[in-house]
Structure 1
Amino acid sequence: MQSFTDLDQLIGAVPFAIVTDLRTVDIGRGSEALYRDKLPALLTSLADRARVASIEASSAIEGVVVEDRARAAEILAGRATTLHTRSEQELAGYRAALDYLYQEAWRPLNTGLILHLHRLLFGYTQMPGGTFKQVDNVVVDRLPDGTKVKRFTPVSAQQTPSYVDELVTRYVSTAAANRHHPVLLVGLFALDLLTIHPFPDGNGRITRALTNALLQDAGYDVTRYVSLETSVARSADAYYAALLDSTHGWHDAAHDPWPWLRYFTRTVADSYEQFATLTATARVGGSKQDRVRTYVLEHAPVTFRIADIRAALPGVSDPTIRLALNQMKAEGSVEADGAGRGATWTRHARSG
């Protein structure tokens, strides 16, 4: 809510680095319609993978992990008839919340929607969801030695309903006014909702799910095809540091939103860069082995895993990937750094 108090003053001048990332985002957005027309099967496959990755990554950030991969797959597919542990229950709950937002019927954004998502998130647990916190809470960090340090003090339980109502109202009206970049507005909404911290548990997951939906609602569909939550999980330290830097002075509307917005816009821009790589690889002609070669030689990190290729090339089987890698290994283009599922590969620099 506080980020929308005097928006023109707060984000009137956008730093150059963020302008550059927003340009990347807008260029990526412009290509989405083309890919929907020309690569519908690929986008469907990417969307299926991104959905699973988003549910698992956003849950894992909060320590909700189902180690048995087959069991997790059953839960994510909705085939598990009994949920045995709290992690299984919460994984199923995040699946329900995210899937609800994948429907067009979730609109409009309002306080009732936020409460409903929380109800879905904890719908399989003994903890009642769908109500705001009843007691004040404090957000803490746990240090390596086990001690806890207060990160920030959220809005009081008494003020929470009015703050959430006002945040939603201000976001909706500001977005409709079309005076500021939509990605910045979504980022500010996420910052404020996380700082209000309206629930005793589940605030991060609800905010990340809504972030996906609001970006898509503003026309930025990349979160359907590339998991934003996975990027956040991989950069968790930067995520929390940016939040911390931008919450100082928030209660007095004297905070600096740019550390958080810098992190947020870079993450969205990175998602579009990943999307461009995935679609570019799919447009390459030739056999599936040729596609593996092109990805490894031109797009993959210097050190990569078979799982990276699998994610980048939906529809290409593991045996095909291994066959292509073995041929490249014989040519001296790549080298295996180990054996087994967790093995990495290294791409050698090409001479000439």
Structure 2
Amino acid sequence: MRSFEDLDQLVGAVPFGVVADLRTVDAGRGSQPLHRLVLPELLEALAGHARTASTEASCGMDGIVVSDRTRTAQVLARRIDGLRDRDEQELAGYGAALDHLDDLDEDQRPRADVDLVLDLHRLLFRFTPTPGGRLRQVENVVAGAAPDGARVKRFTPVPVAATPAHLDELVARYRRAQDAGRHHPVVLVGLFTLDLLAIHPFVAGNGRVARMLTNALLQDAGYDVTRYVPVEPVMARSPERYSTALLDSTHDWHLSRHDPWPWLRYLVSALADVTTQLAALTSSARRAGSKQGRVRDHVLHHARPQFRISEVRAGLPDVSDQTIRLVLAQLRTEGLIEADGVGRSATWSRRG
């Protein structure tokens, strides 16, 4: 809530380094329609890997680790009869919360909603003896480890009695900021995460809920990159930078005198990192091998099951129509594809 009380004054001028990273993230967003059109199977494979990697990294940041990766996949896919320990219970809960986000209909958006925050927390602890979905009922402080290993106070969350009002106000102000459209959507998502963590509505699981919501809000704003290349492993590789950025930006938050840019700079940089990774993966898929080999690979592994020549041309802009048609004829002779119609409106379908 605090970051949205006087948003124009708080955010002010965006630092140059953040502007550059936002341009990278925006460029990635602009490429998404083309990637979905010409590389659907690659994106599907990346999404499956990203879901597991995101879950492992986000849970690992909270000390929840299942060392057997095969077991991790089974837990997330719900292909096991029983959960062995608390780590597996919380891992399964994270997967259930992600399923809930995936199942939301278009008319249930925007996803910034207090009920959704509570639902995600409830699902996070669904398989544990600890009840989820309940706001904090005791006052506490957020502690962390000092360089010498000692536990030190990080910050004091919002008082218990004020937490519900702060959550309601955060959601309302975030939605108004979205509707106003004066500030970059990624900046608004970062501020929402910052304020949610400063409010600290739950005894445990705040970080995991915030990271899930960050991805959901980014995707609602049109930034799908974390669906295919997760940002949580980037955060998990630099836990000190992650916690320091949050700590620096929550200092004096209760007085509305905090500086959001340490956190925003960190988050936007991480998003630019994964956007660059996705660009490299899609570029490699589109350019691997000879031109005929690339057309063949694209048609058999990356194009939609039913596609048009124009889609292949869009995915391989440096390959001539003559080469594309030659490869299509070869694949049809091999019985791997078939033509549906003739002329400019014709489509092609993979067989088998």
Normalising by structure 2, what TM-score? 0.80
Cα distance in 1 between the residues matched to 2:232 and 2:98: 12
Cα distance in 1 between the residues matched to 2:23 and 2:157: 33
Which whole-Å deviations, capped at 9, do the CAs of 1:136-187 have from their partners, x for residues lacking one? 1211112354421101111011111110110011001111111100000000
Which whole-Å deviations, capped at 9, do the CAs of 1:53-109 have from their partners, x for residues lacking one? 001110000000011222111101111221110000000001111221123435332
Residue 144 of structure 2 is matched in structure 1 by 141
Cα distance in 2 between the residues matched to 1:88 and 1:141: 24
Question: Quick check: 1:54–1:230 contact (8 Å CA) kept in 2?
Answer: yes
List gaps (5 residues or longer) in structure 2. Answer: 295-352
Cα distance in 1 between the residues matched to 2:274 and 2:42: 16
Which whole-Å deviations, capped at 9, do the CAs of 1:13-50 have from their partners, x for residues lacking one? 11111111111111110001000000000000000000
Residue 96 of structure 2 is matched in structure 1 by 96
1:281, distance to aligned residue in structure 2 (A): 1.1
Relative contact order: is structure 1 or structure 2 higher (C-alpha 8 Å, sep ≥ 6)? 2
Amino acid in the other structure paired with 1:89: Q
List gaps (5 residues or longer) in structure 1. Answer: 292-352
Residue 154 of structure 2 is matched in structure 1 by 151
SS in structure 1 opposite 2:41?
helix
Which whole-Å deviations, capped at 9, do the CAs of 1:264-283 have from their partners, x for residues lacking one? 11011111101101111111
Amino acid in the other structure paired with 2:280: T
Give the 5 Å matches for 1:246-285: 246-285=249-288
Q: Indicate the larger mover: 94-103 or 33-42.
A: 94-103
Residue 341 of structure 1 is matched in structure 2 by none
Cα distance in 2 between the residues matched to 1:137 and 1:216: 33
Amino acid in the other structure paired with 2:56: E
State whether structure 2 residue 109 is matched by structure 1 residue 107: yes
Residue 307 of structure 1 is matched in structure 2 by none
SS in structure 2 opposite 1:164?
helix
Amino acid in the other structure paired with 1:16: F
Residue 10 of structure 2 is matched in structure 1 by 10
Amino acid in the other structure paired with 2:116: L
SS in structure 2 opposite 1:151?
strand
RMSD: 1.4
Question: In structure 2, do the counterparts of structure 1 residues 69 and 285 end up closer, same or farther at CA, with 3 Å as the change threshold?
Answer: closer
State whether structure 2 residue 214 is matched by structure 1 residue 219: no
Q: Percent identity?
A: 61
1:8, distance to aligned residue in structure 2 (A): 0.4
Which whole-Å deviations, capped at 9, do the CAs of 1:88-133 have from their partners, x for residues lacking one? 0000001111221123435332111100000000000000001100
What is the aligned length?
A: 289
Residue 119 of structure 1 is matched in structure 2 by 122
Q: Indicate the larger mover: 64-73 or 250-259.
A: 64-73
Which whole-Å deviations, capped at 9, do the CAs of 1:322-346 have from their partners, x for residues lacking one? xxxxxxxxxxxxxxxxxxxxxxxxx
Normalising by structure 1, what TM-score? 0.80
